[in-house]
Amino acid sequence: MTIRAHAGARTAWVFVLPVLAAIVLMLILPTLLALALSVTDYSVYALADWSNLRFVGVDNFVQLFSTPLFWRALGNTAVFAILGVPMAIGASLGAALLLNSASVHWKPLWRVLLFAPYVTSVVATAVVWRFLLNTRFGLLNYALSVVGIAPVDWLGNPRLSIPAILLFVTWKVFGYNMVVFTAALSAVPQDLDEAARLDGAGRWTRFRHVTLPAIGPTVLLAAVMSVAGFLQIFTEPYVMTLGGPAQSTTTVLYFMFDQGLKWWNLGQAGAVAFVLFLLILALTFVQARMGRRYEWL
């Protein structure tokens, strides 16, 4: 290796090492700690006397899988992900397509306005939406009353609580993917789209056969990030419904929060965290395989 090549490699490591250190400290180490906690009965009492810490093997996982509330939380989380991912990606892609149209004016202004919710405090905006959806004083119910519709208990009805929260979450997060999709759409070859239009292809045909293949990798990235995000949803149900009504919005992360910080059963919380990690990892692997099938990777 020449002196110049050696210096280049050393410079590369200088830039790479901080990122690797961040990955180890923020991703790998917490995952290993969660796995270590999951095979112990670690609780708040172990903080005072480490002799109270015992190795229990897979007992935490056995107890976890025999807890009905965990399966209820897992089902609620699945509903959030199954409904929320298409809503978020569809809204963001639709907004990006509209902003990419030549007939739309003041595009920078619209991008800022639509992206603004993403950078606002989730707790503050969740409180605002909780009041907007209030049964007696909410703005949404007031608008419904104007057209003669009776007030709806959006957050107090177990059947409506998840859709109501998803409406807020979609409004909150779709701006990020919208910006990403806007950047991807700007790279779509315009000559191919124009050739398809001249051949008589409609908007849907051009989108399906020209636009979508070009932005496919971006759609895959948005899907992976959205699935992981919705599987880890916590703040919105916590602020808006406290997991209710009747545990209809209790998610896996909410269940883990209760186990770890309410009941101080950190071993059980570690088991929940590790199961959620494996679930996200498995779904990411499936999405990657699907991406390779459609040549999006």
Per the listing, tokens 């700007």 go with 186
Per-residue pLDDT of the chain (297 residues; tens, 9 = 90+): 566 656 667 788 888 899 999 999 988 888 888 888 888 887 766 666 666 678 888 899 999 999 999 999 999 999 999 999 999 999 999 999 998 887 778 888 988 899 999 999 999 999 999 999 999 889 999 999 999 888 999 999 999 999 999 999 999 999 999 999 999 988 888 888 778 888 777 888 888 888 888 898 999 999 999 999 999 999 999 999 999 899 999 999 999 999 988 888 888 999 999 999 999 999 999 999 988 887 775
Omega within 30 of 0 (cis) for the link into 117: no
DSSP string, 119-166: HS-HHHHHHHHHHHT-TTT-HHHHHHHHTTPPP--TTTSTTTHHHHHH
Name the fold adopted by 68-293.
MetI-like fold (1.10.3720)
Helix (H, G, I), strand (E, B) or coil at 242: coil
pTM above 0.85, yes or no: yes
